[in-house]
Structure 1
C-alpha cells in the first residue's frame, strides 16, 4: 500500500480495486488489439485510449482515499504521453514504481493530447490548495514548467491532482485525431469538475 512519505511498492496480495483495474485494462487492451486486427476505425481506437485514462483516474481516486495518498497525473503534450506521480514526505513529486498502469503511456500515432486547465482552482483568487502542495518558486510558461533552481532538478508537478479525499482537480483533456486519407477529424473530451467518475464526451467532430 502507498503511504505518504514512502515509496509506493507492489504488495504481496491484491485488493479488489487492483483486480478490477487489471481486468478493465485487459479488456481495453484486448479491444484495442481486436480493433487493429479487424481494421477498426480511428474513432474506435481513439475512444479506447480515452477510456484507458478514464478508468485509471477513477480507480486511482479510490486508491488515494483508501491509502490517504496524494497522487497526480503529469501530461506531456509535446510527447503525447502521461504518467502518474505521488507526493513524498518532502513535498516532492516522485514517479510511482512497480505499477505498470501508472507508468508512462504514450498515445499511438496519429493521436495527440490537448490539456485545458482554464478552470484550475489555484489560478483564481480563492485558492483551494495551500503551500504544502506547491513550491512557491513554481512558474508555468508555454515552454514548460520550472521548479526552484537549476541545481536540483525535480520532476515537474502534475497538472491533475488526485487528493487523498478522492477529489480530482478540474481539467479537460482532449484525445485528438486530425484526420487522414479521407477520414474526418475527430476528438474525445475527458473532463472532471469535482469528484469522479470522469465524464467522457465524443466522438466530437468540431475543430479544436
Structure 2
C-alpha cells in the first residue's frame, strides 16, 4: 500500500515510516494538516495515518476538508486523545479506524492488513496475470511457481501494472501511485525500476511481459 503519514512528532513519524517500509509499504511523511492535504491533492494514496493534534489545523479539520474536497481515501487516526467522544467524533467524520497512542506497531500493521482485506474484493486478494501470481496481503509475487524477491517499489509498480493488465500505464500515473508527491519527473528512476523489474520477471517463465510504449508508458501483457 502507498500510505501518507500526517504526524507532527518527527521522531515518531520517522519510526512509523521506517516500520511501514520494512513491511512492504511505500510511505510519505507530512507534519501538518495543510501539508498533508496538499500531498493528497497531488498524489494517489491507499491509506492515511492521521494524528489529531496537529499545528495549523487539527486532524478533525483535515477529515472535514478531505470529505469537502470529495477525497475518499481511507483514514486511520493515531492519537493520544482517548476520550470516547473523540473516538466517536473521528469515526463520525469519516475515519475508518482509531488507534490510541502509545500503540504496538504490530497492532498497527494488523489493522492495516484488516483494512487491506476490507477494501480489496475477494477476487482481487490475489492478482493473476499470465504466469504471475501476486498475493497482496502476504506481499508475495510468484512467477511460474518461483517466489520473486522484489523491492517495495518494484512490488508497487508491478501491482499497478497487473491491475491494469493489457492497458497503457503512463509515467505520470506511475509517479503518482508508486512514488512520492515530490517526485522529479525529469529523473530516470522509473525507467531504472522498470528495467530491474523486467530482468527479474524475465529470469523465470514467460519473458517479455512488460512492454515499453515509447514516449507513452508501459503495458503488462495479459498472456
TM-score range, shorter chain: under 0.3
* Larger helix fraction of residues: 2
Structure-1-length-normalised TM-score: 0.24
Structure-2-length-normalised TM-score: 0.23
Bigger radius of gyration among the two: 2
Structure with greater contact order relative to length (CA < 8 Å, sep ≥ 6): 1
